[in-house]
Chains A and B, each alone.
Chain A
């Protein structure tokens, strides 16, 4: 866990009282909506189809039980009893009343939660690997560096009025769970030959209307130089970035237009001017942040406890364990992913009751800590293996033990036309239908790892470009039509998917996906060849033939 310091607490509290005053002036008419909009966005408040939507940050995806209970309280007291976990380590509430928002913010501030950096053209919350600090083989806990960047960029004037929003993600593992290649800046912790910690720096990733996979601009930037290097990137961006056209204002467009060589030269020049400035990080600063992250007092436990050995005889437990439980850096412990993708449910939603119960389970089994990942699932980061069977039973009672993590029904979907005022088409009902079609666990397991990502418009909040199967809702003559791509991926080998053919209607989407999956099962060389690898080997043609032959 991370303990905020006094400065942060004061800052958060000041923001709450400022906002209370602003809301009061808005409701009395003293502030117009035009004047108020930027202020509400700075506090995570959007206007959506049905109501205001309130987006709350979960920095680097780490929550305490106390904080999760407070989120449950917000859902219950100010909303309709549930919240929606997003792809950027935030949670959204869909039905918040503006008049009650200051109270909600105040309740959150008491437990160190806020909504800063969740909206507007500024530096957004820095995201990280949801397994940070517990993944075996990671270079070091990437949250230390996320926190450093958070402190440096929060409310920093230079980062608060950018041409567009700006997103950074950090990972410290070989397997990228933070999707760094689709961020404006992606940072991968590495060690150089001398064993010093630093970063491979990637820039220019992003989805939306013009998707790009980030490119590496420098293979090693020493940890102590990371702020000056990021600053140099932002200066070059601020200098060239197109404020005149919001579609062209993202750094990905700039990197594309200048070319990666010219862009990196410009950054290098800028960096040489500032690298030895006050931006150079003193070891003591890092040490101070490091000391604020505390780790549990792990016990010395056996690798294979009796409880686990006995439970292995239960096929239902095993089905869940195989997909949900991952190795931990400490022997005898595991990381448990909690699927927020029940059959027929909206991806990423959790009820207040589920949040409360999970907070209790985290206290009992995970040292009071919960994580949020970009796949819209949660995780308990420190579960003793001997407790896995008991935890599974408890999760199952709550409807939180769907054994589908990383399978075809573990779908990422944006809110789409059911909630979002920018949407062209619905996303959630498509996801729900697909989870019903593939509800048979044996079938889903037979298919193996397969990520379906769905967005309701080209803004790509549902990451459709990088889904193994991507589904994009568009509108044609007043009707919802869906374009389907295959072959995308969001991990260390990130790639954009390829369109398989003309769009299909709402009612046909699930049939088409079934055809794609059947084609894969027929085409794969052996059961271990994943969908994404079959597409890579054969291209889209055989899938296209299968889908469109009969349509």
Chain B
């Protein structure tokens, strides 16, 4: 998982979303089509080419009162249209640590 913080050029290989951390509490959020943020990946706006990705990212970065550290993350969309994280890093961000967590949510 090369850290997306090292993302330089925007080039996407498949369906992607913009994700970030909500400013006031740091919780993982996804950019929605309604120009807001949601904690639910299924609300995320999906982009499918680099221009769309660039536009969604620009709009997201501009809203840094809402969320910080926005970047483009890959997702998979299954037959029923359900959005799934595209790699282990995003999987962990969505579902939490893999360490049989002591975290009391």
Question: Could you say which of A25-33, A138-146, A162-170, A222-230 contacts chain B?
Answer: A25-33
* CB of B34 closer than 8 Å to a CB of A: no
Query: Chain A contacts of B100 at CB under 8 A?
Result: 344, 432
Inter-subunit contact B98/A418 (CB<8 Å) = yes
State which size class the interface on B falls in: 20 to 34
* CB of A264 closer than 8 Å to a CB of B: no
Residue ID in chain B nearest A94 by CB atoms: B103
CB within 8 Å of A: which B2-60 residues: 2-3, 5, 21, 23-28
- Cβ proximity bits A409-421 to B, threshold 8 Å, 1 near / 0 not: 0000000011101
Residue ID in chain B nearest A28 by CB atoms: B65
* CB of A82 closer than 8 Å to a CB of B: yes
CB within 8 Å of B: which A400-428 residues: 417-419, 421-426, 428
Query: Chain A contacts of B5 at CB under 8 A?
Result: 421-422
Question: Could you say which of A44-52, A66-74, A177-185, A388-396 contacts chain B?
Answer: A44-52
A432 touching B102 in the complex, CB below 8 Å, given contacts A47-B26, A49-B92, A97-B25: no
Chain A contact residue count (CB 8 A cutoff): 41
The residue from B1, B2, B21, B96 contacting A47, defined by CB atoms under 8 A apart: B21
- Cβ proximity bits B83-105 to A, threshold 8 Å, 1 near / 0 not: 00001110011001111101111
Q: Distance (Å) between the CB of A218 and the closest chain B CB? A: 39
Question: How far is B86's CA from A351's CA once the two chains are assembled, in angstroms?
Answer: 33
* CB of A448 closer than 8 Å to a CB of B: no
**Additional 6 contacts, C-beta under 8 A, given A346-B99, A480-B1:** A32-B64, A50-B21, A81-B102, A99-B25, A421-B3, A423-B3
* CB of A157 closer than 8 Å to a CB of B: no
Residue ID in chain A nearest B70 by CB atoms: A33
* CB of A195 closer than 8 Å to a CB of B: no
Question: How far is B93's CA from A94's CA once the two chains are assembled, in angstroms?
Answer: 13
Inter-subunit contact B24/A49 (CB<8 Å) = no
Inter-subunit contact B1/A51 (CB<8 Å) = no
11 A-B pairs with CB atoms under 8 Å apart are A27-B65, A33-B68, A51-B26, A52-B21, A80-B105, A81-B104, A82-B102, A82-B103, A351-B102, A421-B5, A424-B1
Inter-subunit contact B105/A97 (CB<8 Å) = no
The 6 closest A-B pairs by CB, nearest first: A51-B26, A97-B25, A52-B26, A29-B65, A418-B97, A80-B103
Query: Chain B contacts of A99 at CB under 8 A?
Result: 24-25
Q: Which residues of B are interface residues toward A (Cβ below 8 A)?
A: 1-3, 5, 21, 23-28, 64-65, 68-69, 87-89, 92-93, 96-100, 102-105
Question: How far is B98's CA from A429's CA once the two chains are assembled, in angstroms?
Answer: 7
Q: Distance (Å) between the CB of A190 and the closest chain B CB? A: 42
Query: Chain B contacts of A475 at CB under 8 A?
Result: 1-2
Inter-subunit contact B26/A349 (CB<8 Å) = no
Inter-subunit contact A49/B102 (CB<8 Å) = no
Query: Chain B contacts of A418 at CB under 8 A?
Result: 92, 97-99
* CB of A95 closer than 8 Å to a CB of B: yes
Question: How far is B99's CA from A457's CA once the two chains are assembled, in angstroms?
Answer: 18
Question: How far is B26's CA from A303's CA once the two chains are assembled, in angstroms?
Answer: 53
Query: Chain B contacts of A32 at CB under 8 A?
Result: 64
Inter-subunit contact B99/A429 (CB<8 Å) = yes
- Cβ proximity bits A474-505 to B, threshold 8 Å, 1 near / 0 not: 01001010000000000000000000000000
Q: Distance (Å) between the CB of B14 and the closest chain A CB? A: 12
Query: Chain A contacts of B69 at CB under 8 A?
Result: 33, 47, 421
Inter-subunit contact A97/B2 (CB<8 Å) = no
Inter-subunit contact A424/B3 (CB<8 Å) = yes
- Cβ proximity bits A38-58 to B, threshold 8 Å, 1 near / 0 not: 000000000111111000000
* CB of A98 closer than 8 Å to a CB of B: yes
Query: Chain B contacts of A351 at CB under 8 A?
Result: 102
Residue ID in chain B nearest A51 by CB atoms: B26
Inter-subunit contact A96/B102 (CB<8 Å) = no
- Cβ proximity bits A182-221 to B, threshold 8 Å, 1 near / 0 not: 0000000000000000000000000000000000000000
Question: How far is B74's CA from A517's CA once the two chains are assembled, in angstroms?
Answer: 39
Query: Chain B contacts of A426 at CB under 8 A?
Result: 98
Residue ID in chain B nearest A80 by CB atoms: B103
Question: How far is B29's CA from A47's CA once the two chains are assembled, in angstroms?
Answer: 13
Query: Chain A contacts of B88 at CB under 8 A?
Result: 417, 478, 480
Residue ID in chain A nearest B28 by CB atoms: A50
CB within 8 Å of B: which A98-119 residues: 98-99
Residue ID in chain B nearest A428 by CB atoms: B99
Question: How far is B1's CA from A480's CA once the two chains are assembled, in angstroms?
Answer: 7
Question: How far is B68's CA from A26's CA once the two chains are assembled, in angstroms?
Answer: 11
Inter-subunit contact A51/B93 (CB<8 Å) = no
Inter-subunit contact B103/A423 (CB<8 Å) = no
A424 touching B2 in the complex, CB below 8 Å, given contacts A33-B68, A418-B97, A429-B99: yes
Question: How far is B25's CA from A99's CA once the two chains are assembled, in angstroms?
Answer: 6
A417 touching B99 in the complex, CB below 8 Å, given contacts A47-B26, A97-B24: no
Question: How far is B105's CA from A26's CA once the two chains are assembled, in angstroms?
Answer: 26
- Cβ proximity bits A338-372 to B, threshold 8 Å, 1 near / 0 not: 00000010100101000000000000000000000
Inter-subunit contact A27/B103 (CB<8 Å) = no
Inter-subunit contact B25/A51 (CB<8 Å) = yes
Q: Distance (Å) between the CB of B3 and the closest chain A CB? A: 5
Inter-subunit contact A98/B24 (CB<8 Å) = yes
Query: Chain B contacts of A98 at CB under 8 A?
Result: 23-26
Question: How far is B1's CA from A421's CA once the two chains are assembled, in angstroms?
Answer: 10
The residue from A29, A424, A432, A480 contacting B99, defined by CB atoms under 8 A apart: A432
Query: Chain B contacts of A49 at CB under 8 A?
Result: 28, 89, 92-93
Inter-subunit contact A50/B1 (CB<8 Å) = no
Inter-subunit contact B26/A50 (CB<8 Å) = yes
Inter-subunit contact B99/A47 (CB<8 Å) = no
Residue ID in chain A nearest B65 by CB atoms: A29
Query: Chain A contacts of B97 at CB under 8 A?
Result: 50, 418-419, 428
A95 touching B24 in the complex, CB below 8 Å, given contacts A29-B65, A423-B3: no
